[in-house]
Amino acid sequence: MSALLRVAGLPMRLWTAAGNPELVADLRELLAEEAEYAAYARALADWLGSVIPDAEDDRAELLALRRDLHNGRPVSSALPELAQASAWSTALGLRRAALDEDIERERERLSRLPWSQVDEAVARSVPDLVADVARRVEAGENWGGKRLRQRSEYLLRMIARGAAKPTPRGWLAHVAQVGVAGTVSWPVIGSCSAQWVSNVNADRGQADLDGATITLNGLNWVDGDRFRCWSATRVVELRRTPLLDAIRNVLADGVHDVDELVRRAWPRIPAMCCVASSGTWSSWALCSCPGRRDRAGALPSRASSTCIGACPVPCRRISWPGPANWPCRRCGWSMCCPGRRIIPCWR
């Protein structure tokens, strides 16, 4: 067995130098305050619409003011009722002007940044581009000009590709095929980390539940007619069904083995839900728990790994024993047991 190993061609600091967290935070705060002002202005516009007089002299001016409030635009009025809106919109306008200046300075910084980050690796990857930029800089071209701006943006994309993207090009593509040893432990070399995830589709298959213990995913909650739980990267949402509620009620007090779960859940499961006799639960789809590594070090063997409290993973429906005239559809409910994960279905 072999694996494809990819090493970053450039240090991550070359890419992160283009970030400006402080500017982004200021912009986020300003956008939130502008949204608050817009909501306040709309409420004020509704009130103003109810008190606009019929006289032609004042009506046109007040209607224009009402339109500005509805659109969340800055207003300036001598009316006492609009004093707060006028002061608020003026302060927001000053903040927006100051932030626009910061954004313009950031654009100027970013236009020059990629050229200052060029090293031997970048120059070897795009030699023609680097030579062209060097000629234009020596000729005194402005970084705000079209040609240098386009080349600067391309250089920044090349730095991002070499430092963080999975498909680098040219000299930045440090990719090699390496053999995988039979051992389950990985060597730790300096401050390095890696992630390893097995092929879930290859691991998935029918398994024996005899002696297995089962528990609910710990990160779960009920929201109306939906049952939600966290997976590794997202929230999984399931529709509540009688079978789902029955299993959830049984497992609410902790871990149970399969035989006990069948015995306790049987009186609560509707007749349409098929559970075979003699210890075989035919309405469960079973898949193996994928092995996973989040940093370099020893990887426990699959036989010794446990999944109590782990998060659910999607599972395809597999063949079901039982009469052919029973329609079966997967409900998507996920739980886990040591070394495997199970997903119930009803028929």
Q: How far, in Å, CA of 208 to CA of 203, rounded?
A: 14
The CA-based diameter of the chain, rounded to the nearest angstrom, is: 90
* 3-class DSSP assignment, residue 318: coil
The whole-number pLDDT of residue 207 equals 54
What is 144-205 written as a DSSP string? TSHHHHHHHHHHHHHHHHHHT-SS--GGG-EEEEEE--S-SB----SS----EE--HHHH--
Burial (CB < 10 A; 0-12, 13-18, 19+), residue 27, is middle
Q: Kindly list the domain boundaries of the chain, sorted by start residue.
A: 12-163, 198-346
Count, residues in the chain: 347
pLDDT band at 236 (very low <50, low <70, confident <90, very high): confident
- Judge whether residue 197 has pLDDT over 70: no
pLDDT in tens, 145-155: 888 888 888 88
Query: Is there a contact between 141 and 147 (Cβ–Cβ < 8 Å)?
Result: yes
CA dist 250 and 261 (Å) reads 7
What is the per-residue burial (b if ≥16 Cβ within 10 Å, else e) of 96-123?
Answer: eeebeeeeeeeeeebbebbbebbeebbe
Residue 10: strand, helix, or coil: coil
Using CB atoms within 10 A of its CB, is residue 224 exposed (0-12), middle (13-18) or buried (19+)? exposed
* Average pLDDT of the segment spanning 27-31: 92
Q: What is the pLDDT of residues 64-80, one digit of tens each?
A: 888 888 888 888 777 77
- Is beta strand 292-293 parallel, antiparallel or unpaired with respect to 329-330? unpaired
Q: What is the pTM of this model?
A: 0.45
